[in-house]
């Protein structure tokens, strides 16, 4: 909402008579006018005042209009401001160049004040409509994001599960997911998954996954059976192009038993108390693709103070650097010992901070889950 504030128009032209004519005609219509007689001052005013629209002369000394609009579009502060060129140039190539650089319209000199008023009005209306659409879509995506995040459990929700988590979606509709499961009073389940794609469908999968886990990760099923049941249902509900990788850990703290089920997912990092971290590698088929899927299984005897880390491939994979998660995970393992003494609820965030300081760049969604026995 503008709260009845006048629309601000910036006119940039080295011809002072043109500036006066523009200022006089638009002021009468209720617009607030800013003027600059050169490109450099015009860019500065645009960044400081953030006008609603810019009228920009093409032929100016030092910085012509093409240079100015290029700099305006390169600046995030001014990139979305609509620009109308003022020009005495009539050749088609110059006009096409202006449109390619981001201009929304042209006004040919010598111009009539009523034409300037009409074009300014039209493009302000278009700008308002586009901005409204963008804000509306952004709000809907924020609601999807909020709904998705609300399904993800926090350490405070499960104090006896002894875990910490770092979660970050690269886009509004993230494809990574995790959940904590109360199998019984003594047994906890930890599930991390990566749904293919970053579209809205991927985010909607979270509710289905959460329901599937609650129904199938119970004492009556072994971890292998739970994953087989989930895979069978996913085969029925997923489109052909969709699938997910996943890792399911079932921890019995009283018995000191950890069972890991891997479905095409990066290996778990196991950090025994007082020892070096190791990768628990195991091959397994992805979920939602094969009716006879076979999963990798690890059975580990654990003791109090041991930790294990589950994560998605965005942590160890880089398309930019051509690093796959299989090789990336190997390079990543030594870092885990650096958070051995960090409280478990803070360990994932501290590890990410260390990575960022070392030059890590987000290229994908990330879940990093740390569990202490």
pTM exceeding 0.75 = no
Q: What's residue 144's pLDDT?
A: 52
Q: Examine the domain organization and report whether 132 and 173 are in the same domain.
A: no
Q: What's residue 294's pLDDT?
A: 93
Q: Examine the domain organization and report whether 93 and 181 are in the same domain.
A: no
Q: Examine the domain organization and report whether 127 and 214 are in the same domain.
A: no
- Give the mean model confidence (pLDDT) for residues 137-155: 64
Q: Read off the CATH number of the domain in which 283 is found.
A: 3.60.40.10
Q: What's residue 134's pLDDT?
A: 63
Q: Read off the CATH number of the domain in which 26 is found.
A: 3.40.50.2300
Asked, for residue 1, whether it belongs to a domain, the answer is: no
Q: Which of 337, 340, 370 is nearest to 155 (CA)?
A: 370
Question: Domain boundary residue among 143, 164, 189?
Answer: 143
Contact 22, 66 (CB under 8 A): no
Q: Examine the domain organization and report whether 219 and 283 are in the same domain.
A: yes
Q: Examine the domain organization and report whether 55 and 84 are in the same domain.
A: yes
The DSSP code for 319 is T
The average confidence (pLDDT) of the chain is 87
Say how far apart CA 260 and CA 298 lie, in whole Å. 5
Q: Examine the domain organization and report whether 74 and 175 are in the same domain.
A: no
- Give the mean model confidence (pLDDT) for residues 32-56: 95
Q: Examine the domain organization and report whether 57 and 205 are in the same domain.
A: no
Give me the half-sphere count of Cα atoms (radius 13 Å) on the Cβ side of residue 99: 8
Note the pLDDT tens digit of each residue in 163-221.
Answer: 999 998 776 556 788 999 999 888 999 999 998 765 555 555 777 788 889 889 999 89
Q: What's residue 333's pLDDT?
A: 87
DSSP-based three-state secondary structure for 192? strand
Q: Examine the domain organization and report whether 199 and 56 are in the same domain.
A: no
Q: Examine the domain organization and report whether 88 and 187 are in the same domain.
A: no
Domain that holds residue 181: 151-372
- Give the mean model confidence (pLDDT) for residues 281-300: 91
Higher-confidence residue of 109 and 92: namely: 109
Q: Examine the domain organization and report whether 52 and 71 are in the same domain.
A: yes
Q: For the chain, how many structural domains are there in total?
A: 2
pLDDT over threshold 80, residue 269: yes
pLDDT over threshold 70, residue 99: yes
């Amino acid at each position: 909402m503008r709260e009845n504030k006048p629309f601000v128009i910036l006119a940039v032209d080295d011809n002072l008579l043109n500036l006066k004519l523009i200022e006089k005609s638009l002021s009468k219509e209720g617009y607030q006018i800013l003027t600059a007689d050169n490109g450099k001052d015009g860019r500065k005013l645009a960044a400081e005042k953030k006008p609603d629209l810019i009228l920009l002369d093409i032929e100016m000394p030092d910085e012509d209009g093409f240079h100015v609009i290029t700099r305006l579009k390169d600046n995030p502060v001014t990139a979305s401001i609509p620009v109308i060129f003022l020009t005495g140039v009539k050749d088609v190539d110059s006009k096409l160049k202006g449109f390619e650089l981001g201009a929304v319209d042209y006004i040919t000199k010598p111009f009539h004040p009523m034409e300037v008023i009409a074009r300014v009005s039209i493009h302000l209306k278009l700008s308002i409509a586009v901005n409204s659409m963008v804000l509306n879509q952004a709000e809907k995506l924020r609601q999807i994001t909020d709904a998705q995040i609300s399904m993800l459990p926090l350490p405070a929700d499960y104090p006896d599960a002894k875990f910490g988590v770092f979660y970050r979606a690269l886009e509004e509709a993230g494809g990574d997911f995790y959940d904590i499961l109360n199998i019984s009073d003594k047994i906890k389940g930890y599930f991390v998954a990566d749904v293919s794609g970053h579209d809205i469908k991927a985010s909607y999968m979270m509710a289905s996954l959460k329901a599937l886990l609650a129904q199938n990760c119970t004492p009556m099923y072994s971890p292998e059976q739970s994953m087989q049941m989930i895979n069978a249902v996913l085969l029925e509900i997923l489109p052909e192009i969709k699938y997910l990788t996943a890792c399911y850990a079932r921890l019995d703290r009283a018995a000191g038993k950890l069972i890991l089920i891997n479905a095409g997912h990066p290996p778990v990092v196991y950090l025994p108390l007082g020892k070096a971290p190791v990768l628990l590698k195991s091959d397994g088929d992805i979920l939602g693709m094969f009716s006879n899927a076979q999963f990798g299984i690890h059975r580990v005897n654990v003791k109090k103070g041991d930790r294990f880390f589950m994560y998605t491939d965005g942590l160890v994979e880089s398309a930019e650097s051509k690093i796959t998660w299989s090789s990336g995970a190997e390079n990543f393992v030594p870092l885990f010992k650096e958070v051995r003494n960090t409280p478990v609820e803070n360990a994932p965030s501290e590890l990410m901070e260390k990575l960022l300081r070392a030059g890590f760049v987000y290229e994908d969604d990330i879940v990093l889950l740390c569990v202490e026995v």
